[in-house]
Amino acid sequence: MANFPHALNTDSSSNLTNGVWDDNVAQWMSKNQMYVQTSAGIWTPLALDASGYLKASIKDSALPSGAATQTTSAAILAKILTAPATEAKQDTLNAKDFATQTTLTAILAKIIATPATEATMASILTQLGTTGLKKIIDALPAGPNILGKIGIDQTTPGTTNAIAMISSIDSIVITPVVGVKTITATAAEIFAGGSVKANRRKLIIRNEDQALRMRIGPSTLTQQNGYPMEPGATVEIQFDPATAVPIYAISEGAALNAAVVEV
Amino acid sequence: MTVVITDNLDGTTSIALNFIDEGVILQGETHIKGNETAALAYLPFFEKDMRRNFADQFPLPESPEGGIEI
Look at residue A4 and tell me whether its pLDDT is greater than 80.
no
Tell me whether residue B61 is in a domain.
Answer: no
Tell me whether residue B70 is in a domain.
Answer: no
Residue-wise pLDDT tens digits, A16-38: 877 788 888 888 887 778 888 88
Distance of alpha carbon A179 from alpha carbon A262, whole angstroms? 9
Helix (H, G, I), strand (E, B) or coil at A68: coil
pLDDT band at B67 (very low <50, low <70, confident <90, very high): low
Q: What stretches of B1-70 adopt beta strand conformation (E)?
A: 2-7, 12-18, 27-33
Residue A135 to residues A116, A119, A124: CA-CA distances in angstroms?
A: 21, 20, 12
More confident position, A21 or A103 = A103
Look at residue B3 and tell me whether its pLDDT is greater than 80.
yes
With CA atoms as reference, the chain B residue closest to A181 would be B49
Tell me whether residue B30 is in a domain.
Answer: yes
> Domain limits at B48?
2-55
Mean pLDDT of chain A, nearest integer = 86
Size of interface A-B (CB pairs under 8 A): 63
Tell me whether residue B67 is in a domain.
Answer: no
Question: For position A49, what pLDDT does the model report?
Answer: 85
In this prediction, residues A95-112 reach a mean pLDDT of 93
- State the complex-level ipTM: 0.87
Say what the pTM is: 0.54
Tell me whether residue B25 is in a domain.
Answer: yes
Length of chain B (residues)? 70
Question: CA of B57 to nearest chain A CA: how many angstroms apart?
Answer: 12
Tell me whether residue B60 is in a domain.
Answer: no
Tell me whether residue B45 is in a domain.
Answer: yes
Distance of alpha carbon B20 from alpha carbon B6, whole angstroms? 20
Domains identified in chain B, total number: 1
Look at residue B10 and tell me whether its pLDDT is greater than 70.
yes
Tell me whether residue B65 is in a domain.
Answer: no
CB contact under 8 A, B54 and A189: no
